[in-house]
Structure 1
């Protein structure tokens, strides 16, 4: 009896560790989850501005709808390329390269990535910056971190987005794609934080500036193992690096095909 009393006393004096707030598939638990996630974010190094951005974020219903309805990646390669306007991307991409060859050549010299690859990604992601999204990045990415479907994947990107707010690269008003991708080439926030390059030298990494965005994209590919002068078609060394940019097979093949046509 005395031993039981001692154990009970010890149990009462040991501080309890709060269990993390559960993920959810509706908006009902989002506000509670945010308060818990703020503790995790703070431990990860997110500071005042980032935590304020998290507190202001809202459950992004359109993001969830988009995440449940990604049909285009299930198309055949031919249909995917038609739907995504591959011929127009190649045509416009060749013109862009011809108008500014020194810019793309400088990127290739520095990072080893051919012009066609960067141009194809730029065209595929945002139509060369013509549409970079209409969803608030912080709200979109925190919603996906909360959502049970892929929370483990998106939590590091949510923390990345909050750190980008701390750094001044984005704000709570910054808009991007429905999955939280941002800028000219639609970086996920965690990747933006890791691979972003201030190519303009103005002291700020700005993914809505084409120079910074394309240099950052080239830096991502180089850091993922791009081998200068080697091929990037399926079966060649650099195709595996293109696969690091997007997980969809039809996307990867399309980039390789369009890049070769642009560079050809």
Structure 2
């Protein structure tokens, strides 16, 4: 019921880039034929960018993801009205489940709002929208997916930096080399790209690492992302407000922002 609609709505799962790295010299391509040669060249670039042995070993094991390319080519943008979008994405169910989760762990969500100033409804609405509250992280090998779009000439400028970041996450022990995620390498409960994990990730459970497959870290990281993008604690977030505009930094689709604000108000209401 809450699974992501990957054909026409896949772009919604992609937070805006936060990692800016110089264009890499590894030659891009539009078919799988040059992928292995690109991977060797990229490994040298990754090493110069500070990726260590564990990350380089993980890179050596990635494979060209035909599923990722197929999903990327199918993207057509968002063409739904707000009511249709909310129906397709199951907003009523997100609200119902979000209320249940808030009621089951009120101190956890209250602590996040106290630290970061982001209401529980916003965090729960994003959690429900992105992964069905952790019920579906995706079906793609994260590093292979990220490497495939970093190699692809259409997407290399955007994704090369995120691949470097993903390999650094492997170095730190924050990302398992075999981790599964969404089609473009999105990670965990709220579908962060790797560069966003490095920039905004927070250790919510105090174990010394940032693991977006753990709920505490994912929620703390999401709250921190919004706060760092300009979220104002205690201020409204309905359409037209400053906080609503911050949602654009999470996802650029207007209907997504509207659905999050509406669902959040209902969860917190």
Structure number with larger C-alpha Rg: 1
Structure 1 residues without counterparts, runs of 5 or longer: 1-18
C-alpha distance in 2, partners of 1:203/1:69?
39
C-alpha distance in 2, partners of 1:247/1:46?
30
C-alpha distance in 2, partners of 1:124/1:92?
11
User: Is residue 196 of structure 1 aligned with residue 201 of structure 2?
Assistant: yes
Q: CA deviation at 1:99?
A: 1.4
- Indicate conservation of the 8 Å contact 1:73/1:251, yes or no: no
Structure 2 residues without counterparts, runs of 5 or longer: 1-23
The residue that corresponds to 1:99 in the other structure is 104
- Point out 4+ residue stretches in structure 1 off by more than 6 angstroms: none
C-alpha distance in 2, partners of 1:128/1:231?
24
Q: CA deviation at 1:118?
A: 0.2
Deviations 1:109-148 (A, max 9, x none): 0000000000000000111011111111101011111111
The residue that corresponds to 2:170 in the other structure is 165
Counterpart of 1:207 (choices 208, 212, 220) is: 212
- Indicate conservation of the 8 Å contact 1:199/1:212, yes or no: yes
Q: What SS class does the counterpart of residue 73 from structure 1 fall into? A: coil
Of structures 1 and 2, the one scoring higher in RCO (CA 8 A, sep 6+) is: 2
- Indicate conservation of the 8 Å contact 1:232/1:256, yes or no: yes
- Comparing 33-42 with 99-108, which one deviates more in the overlay? 33-42
User: Is residue 263 of structure 1 aligned with residue 264 of structure 2?
Assistant: no
The residue that corresponds to 1:68 in the other structure is 73
User: Is residue 145 of structure 1 aligned with residue 145 of structure 2?
Assistant: no
User: Is residue 121 of structure 1 aligned with residue 126 of structure 2?
Assistant: yes
- Comparing 135-144 with 35-44, which one deviates more in the overlay? 35-44
Cα RMSD (Å): 1.3
TM-score by length of 2: 0.88
The residue that corresponds to 1:34 in the other structure is 39
Superposed counterparts of 1:73-92, under 5 Å: 73-92=78-97
